[in-house]
Structure 1
Amino acid sequence: MNAKEIRELFPILKEQVNGHPLVYLDSAASSQKPIQVIDVLNTYYKTQNANVHRGVHTLGNKATDEFEGAREKIRAFINARETAEIIYTRGTTTALNLVASSYARANLKPGDEIVTTVVEHHSNFIPWQQAAKATGATFKFIPLTEDGTVTIEAVKATVTDKTKIVAIHHISNVLGDTTPIKEIAQIVHQHGGILVVDGAQSAPHQKVDVQDLDCDFYAFSGHKMCGPTGIGVLYGKRELLENMEPIEFGGEMIDFVYLEDSTWKELPYKFEGGTPIIAGAVGLGAAIDFLEQIGLETIERHEKQLVKYALEQMQAIGGVSIYGPTVDRSSLITFNVENVHPHDLATVLDSYGIAVRAGHHCAQPLMRHLQVTASARASFYLYNTEEDVDALVAGLKKAKEYFSNVFS
Structure 2
Amino acid sequence: MNTLQIREMFPILHQEINGHPLVYLDNAATAQKPLQVIEAVKRYYEHDNANVHRGVHTLGSRATDVYEGARDKVARFLHARSTEEVVFVRGTTTAINIVAASYGRAVCQEGDEIVITPMEHHSNLIPWQQVAKATGATLKYIPLQEDGTISLEDAEQTITDRTKIVALTYVSNVLGVINPVRDIARIAHRHGAKILVDGAQSTPHMKVDVQDLDCDFYAFSGHKMCGPTGIGVLYGKKQLLEQMEPIEFGGEMIDHVDLYDSTWKELPWKFEGGTPIIAGAVGLGAAIDFLQEIGLDEIERHEKKLTAYAMDRLSAIGDLQIYGPRHERSGLITFNLGDIHPHDVATVLDAEGVAIRAGHHCCQPLMRRLNASATARASFYLYNTEEEVDRLVDSLIKTKEYFGYAIG
How many residue pairs match? The answer is: 406
**Paired residues for 1:68-79 under 5 Å:** 68-79=68-79
Q: Secondary structure at the match of 1:404?
A: coil
Q: Deviations over 1:39-67 (max 9, x none)?
A: 11111100010000000000000000000
2:279 is the counterpart of 1:306? no
- Pairwise mapping of residues 2-41 of structure 1 onto structure 2 (< 5 A)? 2-41=2-41
Equivalent residue letter for 1:400: K
CA distance in structure 1 between the aligned counterparts of 2:283 and 2:349, rounded to whole angstroms: 31
**1:177 equivalenced with 2:180 (yes/no):** no
Shift in Å, 1:318: 1.3
Assess, with a 3 A threshold, how the Cα gap between structure 1 residues 80 and 58 changes in structure 2: closer, same or farther.
same
Matches within 5 A, 1:110-125: 110-125=110-125
Aligned ranges for residues 182-331 of structure 1 at < 5 Å? 182-331=182-331
SS in 1 for 2:403: helix
Alpha-carbon distance between aligned partners in 2 of 1:4 and 1:133, rounded to the nearest angstrom: 51
**Alpha-carbon separation, structure 2, partners of 1:55 and 1:123:** 36
Secondary structure of the 2:224 match is: coil
Counterpart code for 1:274: G
Aligned ranges 1:327-338 → 2 under 5 Å:
327-338=327-338
- With normalisation by structure 1, the TM-score equals 0.99
1:334 is displaced (CA, Å) by: 0.3
Mapped to 2, the partners of 1:322 and 1:131 lie a distance apart of: 34
Task: Give 1:177 deviation, angstroms.
Answer: 0.9
SS at match of 2:223: coil
List runs of 5+ in structure 2 lacking aligned partners: none
Separation of aligned partners in 1, 2:262 and 2:133: 29
Q: Which runs of 4+ in 1 moved over 2 A?
A: none
After TM superposition, give the deviation of residue 317 of structure 1 in Å: 1.1
The AA in structure 2 aligned to 1:384 is: N
1:267-288 CA-to-partner distances (Å, cap 9, x unmatched) read 0000000000000000000000
In the alignment, structure 1 residue 367 sits paired with structure 2 residue 367: yes
Identity of counterpart residues, as a percentage?
Answer: 68
Structure 1 residues 123-177: Cα deviation after superposition (integer angstroms, max 9, x where no partner):
0000001110010000000011001111111100100000000000000000011
Counterpart of 1:59, as a letter, is L
The reply to whether residue 52 of structure 1 matches residue 81 of structure 2 is: no
Q: What's the TM-score, normalizing by structure 2?
A: 0.99
Q: CA deviation at 1:339?
A: 2.0
Amino acid paired to 1:153:
E
Aligned to 1:62: 62
Match of 2:387 in 1: 387
Question: CA offset at residue 405 of structure 1?
Answer: 6.0
Match of 1:131 in 2: 131
**C-alpha distance in structure 2 between counterparts of 1:56 and 1:367, whole Å:** 53
Aligned to 2:161: 161
RMSD: 0.8
Partner amino acid, structure 1, of 2:376: A
